[in-house]
Amino acid sequence: MTLPFIEQFNVTGKRVLVRVDFNVPIHDGIISDDSRIAAHLPTIEWLTNNGAKVILMGHLGRPEGEKNPDYTLKPIANRLARLLGSPVEFCNDCIGTEAEKTVAALNDGDVLLLENLRFYKEEQANDKGFTKKLASLADIYVSDAFGTAHRNHASIVGVPEHINQVALGHLMYNELEVLKKVLEKPEKPLLFITGGAKISSKIDILHHLLPKVDMMMVGGAMANTFLAAQGHSMGKSLYESDYMQEAKRILTDSAAMGCRILLPNDVVVAPTLEPDCETKTVAVDAIPANMMALDIGSKTIEIWAKMIKQAGTILWNGPMGVTEVEPFDKGTQGITEAIALSNAYSVAGGGDTLAALAKANMLNKVSYISTGGGALMEFLEGKTLPGIAALQKRKAA
């Protein structure tokens, strides 16, 4: 089902309630990364340029249903105003008399940010009364928070039930279009690069993508489980013995589906996970009993870089090693550089992946950065996100 896009609506003079994802890192009132705020600028600017009364709602952290000043969105309103180059009003509540009066006083083109939705436990409980109070503030609902679309919360799935006009914002629309392009109409070959600590957290993704992708590169501790399943002695390496049979099944299925799975040829090993500890690079069949694999090795980087160069489309989710501890970030850095040098259309997502890209100062080397973490994971598993399902249900009504 094709969902309506906000540009299909006449928003002039309308109260437009936008679900945003402003869950940014803040310490002592200082925002250290405003990329999530900036990601919503296209939607906000289009609405203001077209005379809407823009009402933004979102959450920050986990205040557990209490009004905690440590989690106020006030600093975000100030940062957003600087990014927009125009004033952003702030309301100390998200429902009730104060919110209603503040919304009623808005002029066409004004922007208002409501206080943290999670100051009310009813938000995460998808409470109907809370939902109706939020919905009463608006004429149009806009879903623009892909990163929270996997949550069954009031502002995500409840509010659309009570507003006649619902639509996707620019960020949400672009996310879905990019993922559709990658998974349904990619430039071939399509390469999926994945890593991280546990195969168990990505089993459903691997199974769902096997018939869709041409190649998979598996790094991180995930690869350790595959290597153990192939009979390699992994020393002290982290791997999931309970998932070795599942790993074998994936390898068998991949062969039948024509998907080539690439595992490391060599790995960087160390006796402990500490900076500047003793390390060496060994073949995967020569891992010492007293050491653990913590990154892909130089030969693997070289081989994979050549494969990356051949890809038409790349989807990347998960680091190749323990990137937060040097020198076990070299594999991820090598893969990042290879992607940057490729001519492929590349998409990266997930907190650890984006942190690794930021650390290497290469966020701008990827064609598209997904704002979704858990939402991206569920999308790649083939699930319909609750936030999308709510819009589909409203459109069909």
Residues that are catalytic: 36, 198, 351, 374
Rounded CA-CA distance 45/109 in Å is: 9
Rounded CA-CA distance 292/295 in Å is: 9
- 8 A C-beta contact, residue 74 and residue 53: no
Cα 35 to Cα 65, 302, 364, distances in angstroms: 26, 32, 12
Amino acid at 67: K
Could you please report the per-residue DSSP string of 163-203? -SEEEE-HHHHHHHHHHHHHHHSPPSSEEEEE-SS-STTTH
Rounded CA-CA distance 319/353 in Å is: 6
Rounded CA-CA distance 99/379 in Å is: 34
Rounded CA-CA distance 355/372 in Å is: 13
Q: List the one residue out of 157, 120, 165 whose CA is nearest residue 138.
A: 165
Phi, psi of 391 (to 5 degrees): -70, -40
